[in-house]
A and B are shown apart, each in its own frame.
Chain A
Amino acid sequence: MNEKVISCKALTKRFGDFTAVDAITFEVEKGEIFGFLGANGAGKTTAMRMLCGLSNPTSGEAKIAGFDIYKETEKIKKSIGYMSQKFSLYDDLTVQENITFFAGIYGLSDKAIKENSAALLKQLGMEDQADKRVSSLPLGWKQKLAFSTAIIHKPEIVFLDEPTGGVDPVTRRQFWDLIYEASGNGITIFVTTHYMDEAEYCNRVSIMVDGKVEALDTPTNLKKQFSVTTMDEVFYHLAREAKRGE
């Protein structure tokens, strides 16, 4: 289990004079749950957008699922899933239509769509809701559905951008159960979050400050390193040194 699914070296993004992401270097292993933390404006979203192929890096190297971030973006796109912080399903379509649509644009065959979506609905216990409009579902269900839809094509990596924003603690817990299950199936999870209890759930955590990765280790080691008892304190310790404002 030492296969590297994400590896970046000195990955940098500049917007004019402003260096949003400053030479970040890290690796993520297959099946790992990798927490990508940072205060607002630290450069998390920009970094993630580069890794997803939504934004071109200014310099540096990166390989996603073994594909080069500059030359093989199309192959990368096929091997990743993505769930944004905004709600990412279509409200006016039914649960089943949403699943079919997203599976469809990833080029799954009709048979695979049928099988995968049946399995997905069963896993979420949403068989009865299949023909309901997504707008009628509670937020927690929507988030779970969005996550499951993001991995319907069985990607190698799934990028989650603050997936649990505005969700109640119980649903958040259930959401993490889904994440663990996916990780158990060999899907690598790359997740940004503002909730420090969620950081504790991750295998490893990186903390970005002012565009740089300031700390990267397991939550346990990080706490040891800064001689504190919670991730909250680790984060506070690092983030208060930030010079950038919001």
Chain B
Amino acid sequence: MLKRKWVTTTLALILTAALVACGNGNNGGSPSSTDKGNSGSSGKKTEVSFWYLWGGVEGEYVEELISEFNASQDQYEVKGLSVPDMQKIIVAISSGEGPDVTDNFSNNTASYVEKGMLEPLDTYIERDNYDVSDFVPAALDSGRYDGKLYALPINVNFNMMFYNKSLLAAAGYDAPPQTEEELLEYAIKLTETNADGTIKVMGFPDFPNVYYTNSMAFAMGGDFISEDGKTLTPDNEGMKKGIELMQAYRKQFGADNILKFNSSAKYLDATDPFIQGNQAIRFDGPWFGHTVKNVLKKDIDYGVAPYPAPAGKPELAGGGEVSASTFFIPSNAKNKDGAWAFMSWLMAKENMVKFNDKFANLPARTSAYDDPALQDIPDFQAFAEAAKNPNLKAFPTFGEQGSYGKVITDEFELAVNFKKTADEALKTMKDKSANLLK
């Protein structure tokens, strides 16, 4: 008898716990019914829910800024929540359970706009006379679609060339490669192999592969859409050069050996070759130096330089691909005014500086680049300087750009694994993307 009683009690407890927890889960998503977005009508703070992709330590930085905003005014109370998966945020928005404001990558904006998910920001900007004149143009444009602005960038991302100074010096080079020919020549000379042909030190920026594909095409003078914006041009000259350069390098040492080297490594882990001192040249973003020096506390003597220029066109040096982390307000947000209030506060110069100081990123406002707070970030000056380069370009924004990117990545991979020639791959890219732009 006693035993039965015990079982029943336990079951009852579990069920109660389940109900309570489920109830909690529900409440977290939908703001309470008092949030009608009429700012300050009652004097009570209305709630603004803000979901962000960052987690862990970075999530804590975001929370610090949120509490600063909450303390700075008495109309809104921002509730932050870490949701580190963008698909989930989008799905939550679709079910009306989403946040009032959230962040995402600029390359998704267009497809969200096409689904009617985003609130245009122009009326807010006009109403508040909000100054966006000092944003990096390419970054601001990434939030624009059909002439309307749907998202504001908080930072600018692009890659630069990191090189291991000691490895270069050992090979007799005192400066990084300036042109595509030099890049290949240096890379081959910098590479060390083991007795069985596997790679010990890699000279080429082959790892991480994804940081090479598009940015190298831009750096080699290519663009992914025609100037009139009507035709996709994945088969551009820059893409071809990017493929051929990597092919030339891989031919020298064997694609299989390169793959083995790449697949053994985990990005920014102890097995990351640049961090081990086993990669001489690497393409990476503004956060890389900060991560190496301040997070992983590795003492590597490296330099930062712009991407090399295509052969015979020194004026194209320092090109690459720009993207941004952007913030937007979903069209079905419950507290749009509060969302804008928080977003415009965060995007104001001084707060944008605070944000990027913590993340070691490049702010989207060029006027912030002189701010003393940012100068301590490793490589900040180099990136700030490079950001002015007009050769930096953005990937075209349109609804199917995700599929476009996938086609390019897939064919690029086949070409550099020697499953296809560069021309075959380019032709397939062209064919498969022919109908993506509507």
Is B a genuine binding partner of A? no
